[in-house]
Amino acid sequence: MTSADPTSEPTATGTTAPRSLTAVRPAADARRLLADLVPPRHFQDARFATYRADEAYPSQRAAVERLEEVAAELRRPRGGGLFRRRRPAPAVYLDGGFGVGKTHLLTSLAHAVGVERAAYGTFVEYTNLVGALGFLPTVEALAEKRLVCIDEFELDDPGDTVLMSRLLRELGDRGVALAATSNTLPDALGEGRFAAEDFLREIQAMAERFEVMRVDGEDYRHRSVVTDAEPLDAGTIRAVVEETAGATLDDFSALVDHLREVHPSRYGAMLDGVSVVGLTDVGPVTEQAAALRLVVLVDRLYDRDVPVLLGGAGEHGLFTDAMLRGGYRKKYYRALSRLGSLAEDGRGVAEGGGSVPR
């Protein structure tokens, strides 16, 4: 549900103005926010059977087999009874480097348990959900699920980490199974080993409940963190948007300003019905709060496989050097990687004459 429909409208000259994200004021209610906690479209076909375990790294096959056991346990009716002690619900943490398929495994677990019985979201989506609904309503809603999956558990914001630790404790005490992954960068020392140690330290009271599963391996995408896709000129972007059903066109600075007025939990709703996003005059974002909001938007675009037509300077210099060296560097490098991938998809749309790949 949105308070403004981003459909095209006639201009004073009689031509049709392209749809614009800045015209959308999402008003997603609690039911919609909770309904969005499902595996993203990008991984809608992920299953244990489609995970290609590298025989050179036995931990990959071991992780699949253990998660299949967890899924089987969660599909069974809950035990208990007045005089029967219920076993603690499983809690697993997938520890490994960039591109070893942790998200594939996590979404496979959600599918195996049943998407109607599982909640699936990134760390940021859950913290945003608490911000939108409040802590106790969030606990009550998620406690109805059998499994809660947290992808890309982040440790760069102490306040959010404490909040998530408390949320996990409340859910675990109510018998909800938990599964999490980290967002380790490819150049991180130990390829995730220290991420696991940090995770267990930061969640403190919950640490003894989590079973850490190591997933070794190489980046299966064999990609760099930043793709540096070449930007498109403004005329090409406008022409593609005008020829593509469901496409939007926005000035980059105007969109960044608009994100300030929309709660990040509603960025997904802002993209309802959007097939391609065109952005002109893309340039550096120098304010940290604005940059972090942009990261969330890029994540929602990536989840939905929405190609992006990047104009201006494109990815080049999008985040400052200080940001890329700071505490949120993982978020920014992830956003650059994902935006670069979406920009390449956008270039494919442009070169294909406006056809959107699906």
Both 295 and 232 in a single domain? yes
Domain extent at residue 144: 53-215
Both 113 and 147 in a single domain? yes
Mean pLDDT of 142-161: 87
The whole-number pLDDT of residue 300 equals 93
Contact 184, 97 (CB under 8 A): yes
Both 287 and 334 in a single domain? yes
Both 244 and 188 in a single domain? no
Q: What is the CATH number of the domain that holds 200?
A: 3.40.50.300
Of 152, 183, 215, the residue at which a domain comes to its end is 215
Of 194, 215, 236, the residue at which a domain comes to its end is 215
Of 215, 237, 263, the residue at which a domain comes to its end is 215
Both 206 and 68 in a single domain? yes
Long-range contacts of 61-69 (CB under 8 A, 24+ apart): 62/213, 63/94, 63/105, 63/213, 63/214, 63/215, 64/105, 66/92, 66/211, 66/213, 67/92, 67/105, 67/108, 67/109, 67/112, 67/213, 68/112
The answer to the question of residue 131 being in a domain is yes
pLDDT digits (tens, 9 = 90+) for 216-251: 887 665 555 555 668 999 999 999 999 999 999 999
Residue 35 has pLDDT above 50, yes or no: yes
Both 201 and 234 in a single domain? no
| Mean pLDDT across the chain | 85
The answer to the question of residue 5 being in a domain is no
pLDDT digits (tens, 9 = 90+) for 114-127: 999 999 999 888 98
Both 193 and 323 in a single domain? no
Both 259 and 210 in a single domain? no
pLDDT digits (tens, 9 = 90+) for 154-211: 776 778 888 888 999 999 999 999 999 976 544 443 445 556 677 777 676 677 788 9
Both 271 and 147 in a single domain? no
Residue 17 parent element (H or E): strand 16-17
Both 101 and 243 in a single domain? no
Contact 319, 205 (CB under 8 A): no
User: What's the structural domain count of the chain?
Assistant: 2
Dihedrals phi, psi of 120, to nearest 5 degrees: -135, 125
The answer to the question of residue 324 being in a domain is yes
Both 210 and 229 in a single domain? no
